Amino acid sequence: MAADYSAEPILKVENLSQYFKVSRDFTVKAVDGVSFEIYPGEVYGLVGESGSGKSTIGRAVIRLYTPTAGKVSFKGREISGKLTNEARDELRTRMMMIFQDPMASLNPRKTVGDIIGEGLDIHKMYATKEERKEKIDNILKKVGLSPEHYNRYPHQFSGGQRQRVGIARALIMNPDLIIADECISALDVSIQAQVVNLLKDIQEETGSAYLFIAHDLSMVKYISDRIGVLHLGHLLETGTTDEIFANPVHPYTRSLISAIPLPNPEVEKKRVSETYDYYTSGIDYNVGSNHLIEGTHYVFGTDEEIARWTGKAGA
Amino acid sequence: MEEKDKILDIKDLDVSFRTSAGTVHALRGVNIDLYRGETVAIVGESGSGKSVSMKAAMGLLASNAVVNGGQILFRYKNEAGEIEEADILKKDKKWIRRNINGRHMAMVFQDPMTSLDPTMQIGKQITEGIIAHLGVSKKEAEERAKALLEEVGITDAEKRMRNYPHQLSGGMRQRVVIAIALSCDPDLLICDEPTTALDVTIQTMILNLILKVQKERGISVIYITHDLGVVAKVADYVNVMYAGKIVEVGNVNEVFYEPAHPYTWGLLSAMPDLETEDSRLYTIPGSPPNLLHEPKGDAFAARNEYALAIDEKEHPPMFKITETHSAATWLLDPRAPKVEMPEELKRRIERMRKEAE
Ligand SMILES: Nc1ncnc2c1ncn2[C@@H]1O[C@H](COP(=O)(O)OP(=O)(O)OP(=O)(O)O)[C@@H](O)[C@H]1O
Ligand SMILES: Nc1ncnc2c1ncn2[C@@H]1O[C@H](COP(=O)(O)OP(=O)(O)OP(=O)(O)O)[C@@H](O)[C@H]1O
Ligand SMILES: [Mg+2]
Ligand SMILES: [Mg+2]
């Protein structure tokens, strides 16, 4: 299913902030005033450097954290404040997260079959034991594992196999929104391709939307309808995949795109990519506003910066 | 010039795991060579045995592992600067932990949480090893730790040293692990998917950092990675692994521009390049063999559209193509019909060569 932009967004994030107080004199502003929305059936790619707040956004949206400020709505219902039982239930069954760190998110004492079946168990989503087993076997096959893996424990798998267990656990619930946090980065290329094709198939079948968090821009480019670029907790640039790749405006986005390693040894060994250092760039993420470039392409900065970056300075 | 000094020599390594469902034959005769100062990449599908090979080299195999045969010779410089040789498989775990791990051979794992202690501040985790292995004072160890953290790109290093692992992002944790690995000046650094959790800009920074340290100190590096872009950037030699065997080995240009094994063709084709416009990515059909039921003949045959009748019966030997390049495919047998790589891949390689000019 293609993204439905005429519908109400399935997820709406407005001015989300998430701070962590690490010690008395040190607070990490992991996410600072971020806004974006995701439409039904849409894949929204979130990219940015390590520590920029991508996972934190995912975790705040699915309410593993209570947001410091801002508002998050899922299917028209606010989910950032105090949750009603009904809202919590909907959140737990209609939104699923695939975690970045498969080992840390899989219970080591449970078999893979039971880990995957947990959501089904809690929400009583089967009539008979056989139906449960069948559902789990099917999803195992779908993610490229085999029913024989049912009784194994997470530590008995390779890294990529474990990641597929996490994917199976999310997919089995048929959610409306899947938050996929670096869900393919631990996989090798051929399985990455399989999983990405799989995510696309599932989406066509069920119309799920994805918040696809990744740092592999060639994969993000391939799978996403729109992209948001995050740096130091600020959303700097957003637009359709074509808008971002054809015309990256923010110097940070430009440096990201220029750093994508290419599978070409002669080129790669000689290459020097564009660098970007916030602290010496003179840019201050606390001042400025979103500027419309074209279509759905927005860039955050001051009037002067935007003019400079788009080559319209002095005009 | 000094004779090339072989630092690691893995010969016919054969390892199984006992599981409740039966025996998993994870490594079925692995051969890997590495010379001092050089970089080798190991690529291959998930579950092909990359991590297990390296865990074996570090003496860290899981307790349900059985070594059926093979040798792992590691040659390192001892305190007096002389070269010493150890056959890792013959040493006991305690000896390896005391004399090799973290001192002469350091490993950066795929999953940073497995090598960090969640209950200990990261500063302490770095200084501990420095004090134990290098015998310096606590104060000096702290200085070194701070410098290392800055070197791997962690800002506010002094404050961050007081953080616990869960307070760091995935990428920052991985950088801490890399700092720990470098802290004791190892002879050999094994990086298992070191940058999969990192974004491209930091990845570039870390890879450059490892390259720099490598040049300065003459250490050898093994990269396990899925990212062929990373391989292209750092590797001198590439080993392609499939179902517990090395199926192609060559220098990086040979493997990228003149791949000979159909599995390598598949791997290179599955990469999305920025030009990919198709609505589906190429994938290698089927899935890797389940090593609970070891395949007869060539393990890749069932997925190989170029498979020959003999593939069903007998595993191909390594055929030598050049001094440095070999591949285990019957297609290289002089009696085999002439088969070329897929058109699409050929065009892609031509495009890559043009870009390189
Ligand atoms: N529970 C926590 N307590 C304190 N600080 C935290 C916590 N969780 C995250 N942080 C901090 O918030 C910032 C953003 O972290 P986050 O994990 O969201 O980054 P990320 O963009 O997902 O990075 P990566 O690509 O490395 O996974 C980092 O500086 C991190 O140290
Ligand atoms: N302790 C164990 N018990 C049983 N099987 C194991 C154990 N450790 C690894 N294996 C199996 O051995 C095979 C090789 O695993 P390994 O971790 O080396 O894969 P890998 O090539 O590193 O894959 P990835 O790219 O996914 O990390 C896999 O089939 C895995 O399931
Ligand atoms: Mg993260
Ligand atoms: Mg591995």
Inform me whether the pLDDT recorded for A53 exceeds 70: yes
> How large is the average pLDDT for residues A254-265?
86
Inform me whether the pLDDT recorded for A17 exceeds 50: yes
Interface test with A, best of B18, B24, B46, B191 (most A CBs within 10 A): B46
Instruction: Judge whether B157 lies within some domain.
Output: yes
User: Tokens 């004791």 appear where?
Assistant: B184
> How large is the average pLDDT for residues A144-170?
86
Tens of pLDDT, residue by residue over B98-115, are 889 888 999 887 677 778
Instruction: Judge whether B156 lies within some domain.
Output: yes
Selecting from B200, B226, B292 the residue whose C-beta is nearest the C-beta of A217 gives B200
Higher pLDDT, B277 or A119: A119
pLDDT of the residue at A132? 95
For strand B326-327 and strand B245-251, is the pairing parallel, antiparallel, or unpaired? Answer: antiparallel
State the DSSP string of A83-143.
PPHHHHHHHHHHEEEE-S-HHHHS-TTS-HHHHHHHHHHHTT--SSHHHHHHHHHHHHHHT
Instruction: Judge whether B246 lies within some domain.
Output: no
> How large is the average pLDDT for residues A184-211?
80
Statement to judge: residues B150 and B290 lie in one domain: no
pLDDT of the residue at B23? 92
Which region among A64-73, A181-190, A233-242, B221-230 has the lowest average model confidence (pLDDT)? Answer: A181-190
pLDDT of the residue at B325? 98
Contact criterion met (CB below 8 Å) for A17 and A31: yes
For the beta carbon of residue B183, count every other beta carbon within 10 angstroms.
23
Q: Which residues of A255-282 are buried (b: 16+ CB within 10 A; e: fewer)?
A: bbbbbbbbbbbbbbeeeebeebebeeee
State the residue range of the domain holding B262: 253-356
Give the closest ligand to the alpha carbon of residue A49.
Answer: 1
* Phi (first) and psi of residue B241, to 5 degrees: -110, 140
Statement to judge: residues B94 and B187 lie in one domain: yes
The torsion region of residue A197 among left (phi > 0), alpha (psi -120 to 50) and beta comes to alpha
> How large is the average pLDDT for residues A17-46?
93
* Phi (first) and psi of residue B49, to 5 degrees: 110, 15
For chain A, give the mean pLDDT: 89
Statement to judge: residues B270 and B176 lie in one domain: no
Cβ-Cβ pairs closer than 8 A, A with B, add up to: 199
Which residues contact residue B247 at a Cβ distance below 8 angstroms, ignoring those fewer than 6 apart?
A: B240, B241, B261, B263, B264, B300, B327, B328, B329
Q: Are the beta carbons of A260 and B274 separated by less than 8 Å? A: yes
Cα(A161)–Cα(A144) distance, rounded to whole angstroms?
Answer: 9
pLDDT of the residue at B275? 64
Cα(A207)–Cα(B146) distance, rounded to whole angstroms?
Answer: 49
pLDDT of the residue at B1? 43
pLDDT of the residue at B205? 77
Statement to judge: residues B201 and B331 lie in one domain: no
Selecting from A151, A155, A261 the residue whose C-beta is nearest the C-beta of B229 gives A261
Cα(B330)–Cα(B313) distance, rounded to whole angstroms?
Answer: 11
CATH number of the domain where residue B174 is located: 3.40.50.300
pLDDT of the residue at B197? 61
Inform me whether the pLDDT recorded for B225 exceeds 60: yes
Which region among A27-41, A268-282, B37-51 has the lowest average model confidence (pLDDT)? Answer: A268-282
Higher pLDDT, B159 or B294: B159
Tens of pLDDT, residue by residue over A93-106, are 999 998 877 667 78
Higher pLDDT, A218 or A18: A18
Q: pLDDT band for position B152 (50/70/90)?
A: confident
Cα(A93)–Cα(A2) distance, rounded to whole angstroms?
Answer: 23
Inform me whether the pLDDT recorded for B274 exceeds 70: no
> How large is the average pLDDT for residues A247-253?
95
Report long-range pairs for B112-118 (Cβ below 8 Å, ≥24 apart). Answer: B112/B165, B112/B170, B112/B173, B112/B174, B112/B176, B112/B177, B112/B197, B113/A101, B113/A103, B113/A104, B113/B165, B113/B173, B114/A103, B115/B177, B115/B180, B116/B165, B116/B173, B116/B176, B116/B177, B117/B165, B118/B164, B118/B165, B118/B166
Question: Residue A194: its chain B contacts at CB < 8 A?
Answer: 283
Q: What dotted CATH number matches A11-104+176-314?
A: 3.40.50.300
Q: Which of B235, B270, B289 is the last residue of a domain?
A: B235
Instruction: Judge whether B325 lies within some domain.
Output: yes
Which region among A186-200, A251-265, B10-24 has the lowest average model confidence (pLDDT)? Answer: A186-200
pTM of the complete model = 0.80
A227 C-alpha vs ligand 4 centroid, how far in Å?
A: 30
B68 C-alpha vs ligand 2 centroid, how far in Å?
A: 16
Domain count of the fold of chain B? 2
State the DSSP string of B113-143.
GGTS-TTS-HHHHHHHHHHHHH---HHHHHH
Statement to judge: residues B122 and B161 lie in one domain: yes
Statement to judge: residues B337 and B200 lie in one domain: no
Q: pLDDT band for position A315 (50/70/90)?
A: very low
CA A274 to chain centre: 25
The domain ranges of chain A are: 11-104+176-314
Inform me whether the pLDDT recorded for B122 exceeds 60: yes
Question: Residue A155: its chain B contacts at CB < 8 A?
Answer: 62
Q: Interface pTM (ipTM) of the complex? A: 0.80
B328, with CB counted inside 10 A (0-12, 13-18, 19+), is: buried
Inform me whether the pLDDT recorded for A1 exceeds 90: no
Higher pLDDT, B128 or B282: B128
Question: Residue B196: its chain A contacts at CB < 8 A?
Answer: 182, 185-186
Q: Which of B200, B235, B270 is the last residue of a domain?
A: B235
Statement to judge: residues B144 and B261 lie in one domain: no
Instruction: Judge whether B241 lies within some domain.
Output: no
Higher pLDDT, A72 or B292: A72
Q: pLDDT band for position B36 (50/70/90)?
A: very high
Q: pLDDT band for position A313 (50/70/90)?
A: low
Nearest CA among B20, B16, B14 for reference residue B71: B14
> How large is the average pLDDT for residues B296-312?
88
Please indicate whether residue B48, judged by its CB atom, sits closer than 6 Å to ligand 2: yes
B23 interfaces chain A, CB cutoff of 8 Å: no
pLDDT of the residue at A186? 66
R_g over Cα of chain A = 20
> How large is the average pLDDT for residues A212-220?
83
Higher pLDDT, B355 or A101: B355
Q: Which of B168, B200, B235 is the last residue of a domain?
A: B235
For chain B, give the mean pLDDT: 88
Selecting from B21, B204, B229 the residue whose C-beta is nearest the C-beta of A148 gives B21
Inform me whether the pLDDT recorded for A24 exceeds 60: yes
Give the closest ligand to the alpha carbon of residue B46.
Answer: 2
Cα(A96)–Cα(A179) distance, rounded to whole angstroms?
Answer: 6
